[in-house]
Structure 1
Amino acid sequence: MLTLLHNPRCSKSRQTLALLEERHLDMRVRRYLDEPLDEAELRALLTRLEADSAALVRTQEPEWKQLGADPHDAEQVIQAIAAHPRILQRPIADDGQRAIIGRPTDAVLSLLDGTTA
Structure 2
Amino acid sequence: MIEIYHNPRCRKSREALKLLESKGIEHQTILYLDQTLNTEELKALLEKLKINAEELVRKNESIWKEQFKAHALTEDDIVEAMVKHPKLIERPIVVNGNRAVIGRPAENILTII
Q: TM-score, normalised by structure 1?
A: 0.89
Determine what percentage of the aligned residue pairs are the same residue: 38
Match of 2:3 in 1: 3
**RMSD of the TM alignment (CA)?**
1.6
User: Residue in 2 aligned with 1:109?
Assistant: 110
Q: Which stretch of structure 1 is more off in the superposition, 46-55 or 101-110? A: 46-55
- Matched residue type, 1:83: K
Change in Cα spacing, 1:72 to 1:17, as seen in structure 2 (3 Å) is: farther
CA contact (8 A) 1:71 1:77 kept: no
Aligned length: 112
Q: Distance in 1 between matches of 2:72 and 2:87?
A: 15
1:25 is aligned to 25
Question: 5+ residue gaps in structure 1?
Answer: 113-117
Q: Distance in 2 between matches of 1:56 and 1:8?
A: 18
Deviations 1:12-67 (A, max 9, x none): 00000000011111210001011011110000000110113222110110111122
Contact 1:54 1:72 in 2 (8 A): no
Q: Is the 8 A contact 1:59 1:65 kept in 2?
A: yes
Q: Structure 1 segments of 4 or more deviating over 4 A?
A: 69-72
Q: What residue number does 1:67 align with? A: 67
Partner of 1:52: 52
Contact 1:39/1:78 (CA < 8 Å) preserved in 2?
A: yes
The 2-side partners of 1:72 and 1:11 are apart by 30
Structure 1 residues 79-115: Cα deviation after superposition (integer angstroms, max 9, x where no partner): 0011001111000001130110011110011111xxx
Residue segments in structure 2 that go unaligned for 5+ positions in a row = none
Q: In structure 1, what is the Cα distance between the partners aligned to 2:72 and 2:82?
A: 11
Relative to the length of structure 2, the TM-score reads: 0.92
Match of 1:80 in 2: 81
Per-residue deviation, 1:71:
8.7
